[in-house]
Amino acid sequence: MRDVAALAKVSTKTVSRVINGLPGAGAEVVERVRAAARTLGYRPNLAASGLRRSDKRSATIGVLFEDLSNPFDSALLRAVEDRARHNGVLVLAGSSEDDRALQGELLVSLSARRVDGVVVMAAGGHQDALQQERERGTPMVLVDRPPTFGGTDCVTTTNRESSREAVLQLAALGHRDIAYLGDRRTLWTSQERYTGYLEGLAQAGLTLREELVRTDLHGADFAETAATALLDLDRPPTALFTAQNLVTVGAMRVLRARGLQRRIALIGFDDFPLADMLEPGITVVRQDVPGIGRKAAELIFARINGDTSPPVHAVVPAALVRRGSGEIAPSAP
Amino acid sequence: MRDVAALAKVSTKTVSRVINGLPGAGAEVVERVRAAARTLGYRPNLAASGLRRSDKRSATIGVLFEDLSNPFDSALLRAVEDRARHNGVLVLAGSSEDDRALQGELLVSLSARRVDGVVVMAAGGHQDALQQERERGTPMVLVDRPPTFGGTDCVTTTNRESSREAVLQLAALGHRDIAYLGDRRTLWTSQERYTGYLEGLAQAGLTLREELVRTDLHGADFAETAATALLDLDRPPTALFTAQNLVTVGAMRVLRARGLQRRIALIGFDDFPLADMLEPGITVVRQDVPGIGRKAAELIFARINGDTSPPVHAVVPAALVRRGSGEIAPSAP
DNA sequence: TCCTCCTACGTCAACGTTGACGTAACCGAC
DNA sequence: GTCGGTTACGTCAACGTTGACGTAGGAGGA
């Protein structure tokens, strides 16, 4: 900046004025400064600027998701990023691996970089690190899972209601033995979806068969094992409700391996690419991922811009997408 | 920091020493400072630190890909992020939409934040903005597509060789009418893959039928239209080579809609989730995405740490994954 | 003519941190 | 007892930028 000032024969303050488009600089001077900046390849230093400015904005937000390579997470990131771009804000992104310690470290890193706010998919278990950061005044929005502490916005989907709806649809087709395959029980979403499953059973007048419930399936491999065990029961389920993406894929593989994909009904929570191209197409509960991302971004930017209204828990509705696998009636034994 | 110093009754310099774990602070003082920092919830300001420090590192790198919600891009991001984390570095991520102007703006934003380096998937067309940034001294690694200017590392895959291999495999099965469906021709990868297609035809002693070549298919919908047109030819192809992800999906849909998925061979470039679950499984050229990401991260961190060896063009091999669709022999007319 | 107001600049200090350097206290060796 | 060396601090200025404030010169009005 000093070099630019020297070359344009003005003070650094005038360069600052020109760069920031502030009034108080004559047309000729503006031109000289612009030219000097161009020839020297000058780029303002946002860090120094933020240090001095009164608002102390870094024009950067943090995004901490579980795994940025997961389609759900990356679609969410993209939606947040789009909104951020419109506000001239860049995104610092990290994967927490659902590991509290790692999430805490990343949070400290973000804090050290003075991000204006963070959008977080909270790791399972206690949220002390999140709460602490929140209490230091960092604007924060949780996505997918709500906070266990107060005063913080969050955006989730209709986990319970949509799960109930899925189970009710299966029951309406005549299924009485509907299995539940779920992700880690520490996750709030898993609990909600399981609750929805129970509600669905109850509402359909079905009794819960404990042995048809398999949880803590961390990935497709675990889901395969669980699905295999279920099908080997004396009285196997005639329908499966898989409460997560990878679990659905694992269950599908087993059905397919046994040639049962047209005989046993399957509804999964979370859509995935090509679900419509399989035979049969996979009926899923589809979350409105861009909608969730948009809402989260809206909330965080509102807070950053000083919105002090009471915390919001936004619920973005999911929809049942019927493709065939969830419309299979129970076959005669 | 001043508050911490005051509370611990030391100078700010001593606080700095304690925070950075530098020698020259007594055990008792260290404890006092730590306690004070904890009670005040002190977080060092990395921006200010970077401003003063001699090395001027921001411990942040930039990643500019085409679309962070694309599975290829997000897997790449994840691989880079993992490596970055090991170096205590955070990632500023952005989607350029293959738009030069947008990519340029994002690059300026990154530059203003003084990122230590950038990993870029160059937008099609001229790369003036990239070159300019590179010449300002920013360490840079291009992924997926090479630079059109010198002095810059890049990491790509075996586009040409693997495409040739795919075509040769089809030819070996007896196919003589092999169609090519490709992405935008401005993309270097598309050109390479097309060249590989031509080489494969030549090597198998087949002559190119121009009407079997369809390019500039920007997305699955365009691919569907093109595939439909190909199948409606008087002498339709007996095998398709689809040179990109979404193009493969579009072609698949058409084959499936016409019930030809077991009669017409298909090999796609780029793997995608569930390609193995379809019927038949889709034979693809699979890029080693984590390998590409790792290599790119390695290169950028080496450059950031002062490696001045000549620029490298790393080529990470792709592999043909046989799943059925690419092993269909031409059916009798 | 003189005063006021505005415009177009410049000067200075401060943001939070650390490199360079200073200094007081203590240790061991001669 | 003095000297060189080490340890444990502190002081000061600077990183690149901008807010607060100062000033010179010209326009405009009474």
Return the pLDDT at B332. 58
Query: Residue B169 half-sphere exposure, CB side, CA atoms within 13 Å?
Result: 24
The answer to whether B14 CB is within 7 Å of strand D is: yes
Mean pLDDT of the region A72-95:
96
- DSSP letter, residue B327: G
- Residue A116 pLDDT grade (very low, low, confident, very high; cuts 50, 70, 90): very high
Return the pLDDT at A204. 97
- Ranges of beta strands (E only) in chain A are 60-65, 90-95, 117-120, 140-143, 153-157, 178-181, 213-214, 239-242, 265-269, 283-286, 313-316, 319-321
Residue of B3, B46, B325 best to disrupt the A interface, most CBs of A under 10 A:
B46
- Residue A55 pLDDT grade (very low, low, confident, very high; cuts 50, 70, 90): confident
**Residues of B whose CB is below 8 A from A279:** 279
Alpha carbon A216 to chain centroid, angstroms: 20
Mean pLDDT taken over chain B: 94
Give the CA-to-C1' distance from A49 to D13 in angstroms: 20
Mean pLDDT of the region B140-155:
96
Say how far apart CA B58 and CA A90 lie, in whole Å. Answer: 15
Give the CA-to-C1' distance from A14 to C8 in angstroms: 10
Residues 302-321 of chain B whose Cβ lies under 8 A from any Cβ of chain A: none
Helix or strand (DSSP H, E) at B316: strand B313-316
Instruction: Give the residue with minimal CA–C1' separation from D16.
Output: A48
Angle at B296 between CA B290 and CA B298, to 5 degrees: 100
Residues B181-196: tens digit of each pLDDT: 999 998 899 999 999 9
Mean pLDDT of the region A324-328:
96
Residue A19 has pLDDT above 60, yes or no: yes
The answer to whether B159 CB is within 7 Å of strand D is: no
**Residues of B whose CB is below 8 A from A110:** 90
CB-CB under 8 Å, B136 with A43: yes
3-state helix, strand, coil in chain B (%, to 5): 45, 15, 40
Say how far apart CA B265 and CA B282 lie, in whole Å. Answer: 9
Q: How many helices and strands in chain B, by DSSP H and E? A: 12, 12
Return the pLDDT at B104. 96
User: Could you give the 3-state DSSP secondary structure of residue B123?
Assistant: coil
Mean pLDDT of the region A208-214:
97
Delineate the domains of chain B, giving CATH numbers in brackets: 2-44 (1.10.260.40), 60-156+289-316 (3.40.50.2300), 159-288+320-327 (3.40.50.2300)
Mean pLDDT of the region B168-180:
97
Return the pLDDT at B24. 84
| Shortest CA gap A98–chain B (Å) | 14
CB-CB under 8 Å, A274 with B278: yes
User: CB-based contacts with strand C under 7 Å?
Assistant: A 9-14, 23-26, 28-29, 48, 51-52; B 1-2, 12-13, 15-16, 19-20, 43-45, 48-49, 51-54
Mean pLDDT taken over chain A: 94
CB-nearest to A273 from B67, B78, B272 is: B272
Smallest CA-to-CA distance from A110 within A128, A97, A86, A129 is with A129
Mean pLDDT of the region B283-294:
97
Distances (CA, A) of B238 to A30, B221, B241: 65, 21, 10
Residues A264-294: tens digit of each pLDDT: 999 999 998 889 888 899 999 999 999 999 9
Helix or strand (DSSP H, E) at B65: strand B60-65
Q: What percent of chain B clears pLDDT 70, i.e. is strictly above it?
A: 99
The answer to whether A50 CB is within 7 Å of strand D is: no
CB-nearest to A93 from B45, B73, B93 is: B93
In the block, tokens 């490596």 appear at: B83
Return the pLDDT at A332. 58
Distances (CA, A) of B298 to B130, B133, B138, B292, B305: 20, 20, 16, 10, 11
CB-CB under 8 Å, B94 with A94: no
Residues B78-133: tens digit of each pLDDT: 999 999 999 999 999 999 999 999 999 999 999 999 999 999 999 988 999 999 99
Return the pLDDT at A333. 53
- Residue B277 pLDDT grade (very low, low, confident, very high; cuts 50, 70, 90): confident
The answer to whether B137 CB is within 7 Å of strand D is: no
Residues A150-184: tens digit of each pLDDT: 999 999 999 999 999 999 999 999 999 999 999 99
**Are A11 and A5 a contacting pair, CB within 8 Å?**
yes
Residue B331 has pLDDT above 90, yes or no: no
Nearest CA in chain B to A65: B78
Give the CA-to-C1' distance from A175 to D11 in angstroms: 80
Distances (CA, A) of A64 to A61, A122, A143: 10, 8, 10
Residue B333 has pLDDT above 80, yes or no: no
Which nucleotide is at minimal CA–C1' distance from A4?
A: D16
Residue A124 has pLDDT above 90, yes or no: no
Residues B36-46: tens digit of each pLDDT: 999 999 999 99
Helix or strand (DSSP H, E) at B284: strand B283-286
Protein CB footprint (7 Å) on chain C nucleotides: 7-12, 14-20
Residues 245-284 of chain B whose Cβ lies under 8 A from any Cβ of chain A: 249, 252-253, 256, 272-274, 277-279
B84 token code pair: 């970055």
Return the pLDDT at A245. 87
Lowest mean pLDDT among A8-12, A247-251, B50-54, B223-227: B50-54
Return the pLDDT at A273. 85
Residue B157 has pLDDT above 90, yes or no: yes
**Residues of A whose CB is below 8 A from B279:** 279
Task: Choose between B55 and B272: higher pLDDT.
Answer: B272
Helix or strand (DSSP H, E) at B61: strand B60-65
